[in-house]
């Protein structure tokens, strides 16, 4: 971002918006991953099927 802004200062507002969008998407992916991991750890949806298969 800084190098692009240094080369073309007139594009700084557009680049700033794109940088925040990309940063938000990267954070969202990691938060969704943590949420799915917690779901499988504490509220395992396959536990009923596993117990039925075992006996």
Is residue 15 within 8 A of residue 1, CB to CB? The reply is yes
Tokens in use for 9?
């200062």
Q: What is the pLDDT of residues 5-38, one digit of tens each?
A: 888 999 889 989 999 999 999 999 999 999 999 9
Residue 47's pLDDT is 78
User: Has residue 4 got a pLDDT over 90?
Assistant: no
Long-range contacts made by residues 8-15, C-beta under 8 angstroms, separation at least 24? Answer: none
Q: What is the pLDDT of residues 40-50, one digit of tens each?
A: 888 877 778 88
Residue 43's pLDDT is 83
Query: What is the rounded end-to-end Cα distance, in angstroms, of the chain?
Result: 58
Residue 34's pLDDT is 96
């Amino acid at each position: 971002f800084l190098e692009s802004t240094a080369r073309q200062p007139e594009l700084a507002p557009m680049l700033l918006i794109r940088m925040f969008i990309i940063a938000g998407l990267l954070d969202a992916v990691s938060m969704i991953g943590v949420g799915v991991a917690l779901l499988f750890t504490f509220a395992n949806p396959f536990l009923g099927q596993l117990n039925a298969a075992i006996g």
